[in-house]
Amino acid sequence: MFPRKNIPVKKIVKQAIEAGYTDIMIVHEDRNKTKPDGIILCHLPEGPTAYFKINSLKYSKEIKGVGESTSHYPEVILNNFNTRLGLLISRMLVCLFPQDPNFVGRRVVTFHNQRDYIFFRHHRYEFKKEGEKTALHELGPRFTLRLKWLQNGTFNPTEGEYEWVLKRHEMETSRRRFFL
C-alpha cells in the first residue's frame, strides 16, 4: 500500500507492470479527504480497468459487535453475477484474493450483486447443528460499489476503448433492467 503523491495514474500502471504486480487498486478520496469514494481497479498486464463508486462505507469500528479479523486467507463468495459483464467484474474482484483450496480459518469475503449494486461483506462463520445452520460474525468494513465504467485495456480514460459506460440518461430506461 503506497500513497500516490500525485503521480499520474498511467505512470503508476507502467511501473507496476514492470514490477510484476497482478492488479492495481487506487482508492480515490473526496475533496475534503474524509471518506474514500471511488476505486480504480486495474488488472495488469493489459487487463480490464474498472472504476467503481463507493457508497455507504462503514468502517469496522462503526459496526456493532464487530470481531477482529485474522490473517488467514479468506474464502470468496460471489453472488448473483449473471450477465457477461457481471462475470467479468466478478473475476476481476476474485483476482485480488489469493486462491488457495486449503481453507484455513473460517473467514469469508462476500461480493453480492443486487440490481447493479455490489455489496461487500466480511465475516467469520461457524457451522452449527451438524451442518444445518451457519452463524456469521461480522468482521471488517462493509460498503457498496457501483460500476461506473469498464475499459478494455489499462487505465486510459481519454484514449482507451470503453467496454461499458454508465450513461444514466440512456440506460435507466426501465426500472427492472440491470446490467451487472
55 near other proteins, judged by CB under 8 A: yes
C-beta of 20 vs 176, nearer to other proteins = 176
Beta bridge partners of 27: 39
88 near other proteins, judged by CB under 8 A: no
94 near other proteins, judged by CB under 8 A: no
Beta bridge partners of 25: 41
77 near other proteins, judged by CB under 8 A: yes
Q: How far is the CB of 156 from other proteins (least distance, A)?
A: 13
Residues contributing to the site for other proteins (CB under 8 A): 8, 31, 55-56, 77, 79-80, 103, 108, 110, 112, 114-117, 119, 121, 123, 125, 127, 130-134, 136, 144, 146, 168
